[in-house]
Every structure is written in C-alpha cells, then in structure tokens.
Amino acid sequence: MKNIIFLLLITNFLFAKGIFQINVGSNFSTFLNDKDSDLLVGYTLGIKYEYFLTNSISMISGLLFSKEGGKLKNKIEFPYEISEGISNVADAYYEDIYAMIGYLKIPLLIGYSLKTSNNTKIEFFLGNSLLIPIKDYSYIKNYHYAFTYVKGQTNYDFDYYPTVEESFFSANDLNYSLDIGLAYSYRKIMLNFELNYDINYFGYVEYISKIKKNLISGKLSISYDL
C-alpha cells in the first residue's frame, strides 16, 4: 500500500511539473552521401511530454510517427538505335528510387527556455531519438522514352512509358538520430524547427550501389499544450 501511495505521489509530481503536447508537421529529408539524391517531403505527428527540471531547463520525450527518406536518381542510359529496314528505333531509360521509411520515433532531449515576455518564450533543445521502422513506403518509378523515325523524313513517333514497381531498398531494424532544434512558443502554441542526422545508416540500394546512405532531415511542426 505504501508503494502504491509513493508511486501516485511521484506520478502526480511529474504531471504537475510537465506538459503534454500534440505535435504535427512536415518532414524534409535527403541522403547526404549521394550526389544524385533529391529532397523528399514527408510528415510527422504524435505526442510529446516536457518535464521541467527548473524554470529554464526541461527534458522532452514522446512518441511520434515520422515518414523519412530520399529520392535517388539513376543516371540515364544513352539512347541506342536499332535498325529496322528504313525505320530506326531509339530508346532511353532512367529511374527514380523513392526510398522512404515510416519510423516510430522516441526522442530524449534536453531543452533550455528563454522567456521573452509573459506569453512568449524561445526554447533550444538537443538530444537523441530512437527510430523504429514500422512501414516501408519505398518504390521505383521507371521512365522509358522511345521514338521511331524514318530515314530521310522529319516526322517521327514519340512514346513515353512511366511504370512503378517495388524497390530493393532495405532499412535497418533500429536507428538512432542526433537531434537539435529551436522552438518559439506563444501561450499554448509552439512553432518547432528540428534538424535530425541519422547516426546509423538508413540502408542501401543493392543493385545500384553498395554505398550505405546517411539520412538528414529537417522538421517544421506545430505543437499545442494540452
């Protein structure tokens, strides 16, 4: 009985000095060590809990879902010609690989708040997050350009065939990120900017490259205190 009372007192103390926040926003991510990688836009949503050690210092954790990844471009193949009597056919291929994973994210951050007025404050935070992959959104989009022309004529037929198929992208079982961010709050609303760098490798595309990919992502989100 004494243990139950003690646990209730501790829980009440933590909740009294802490705030739950609903968090939702956009995620912008790409691969650092791939010159042909483009930015992909995903989303992040979940709930955070901020516990205040002092008026200025806090610890932040929570449970969020974050869709992250990058767009990998495969270089175009040079057109080649196949002679078919008086007609020639030329083909060109390239493909975009959309490598995206839905992560369950558990952050553990330390925050420092600087109050600017009675209703506003600026907060800096730094720490790590555990990333657990729970959904694979990866796919490949193939592009096939083909045109047929007749020798001695200027007219030609042009065809364009985009197709989508599953990718061979593989993600790690667990990942960790280094997180740094800045937030501006007005009363119960907070605007957050966060930069995440994956400490482990995101994975690799087997049939294109054996080079493992490091992911960096920026998040712009809004939180609301419950």
Residue 170 CA to residue 58 CA, distance in Å, equals 36
Judged on CB neighbours under 10 Å (0-12, 13-18, 19+), 119 is exposed
pLDDT in tens, 139-172: 888 777 666 666 666 555 556 666 677 665 665 6
* Residue range of the domain that includes 115: 19-225
Residue 13 covered by a domain: no
Asked whether residue 19 carries a pLDDT value surpassing 80, the answer given is yes
For residues 225 and 190, the answer to whether their CB atoms sit within 8 Å is: yes
Residue 2 covered by a domain: no
Residue 216, CA distances (Å) to 98, 147, 194, 204, 213 in order = 15, 39, 11, 15, 10
pLDDT in tens, 36-63: 678 889 999 999 999 988 889 999 999 9
Residue 100 covered by a domain: yes
Place of tokens 């175009």: 76
The predicted pLDDT at position 118 comes to 83
For residues 121 and 185, the answer to whether their CB atoms sit within 8 Å is: yes
Residue 124 belongs to a domain with what CATH number? 2.40.160
* DSSP structural state of residue 151: T
Residue 153 covered by a domain: yes
Residue 39 covered by a domain: yes
Residue 144 covered by a domain: yes
Residue 128 covered by a domain: yes
Number of domains present in the structure of the chain: 1
Q: What is the pTM of this model?
A: 0.76
Residue 184 covered by a domain: yes
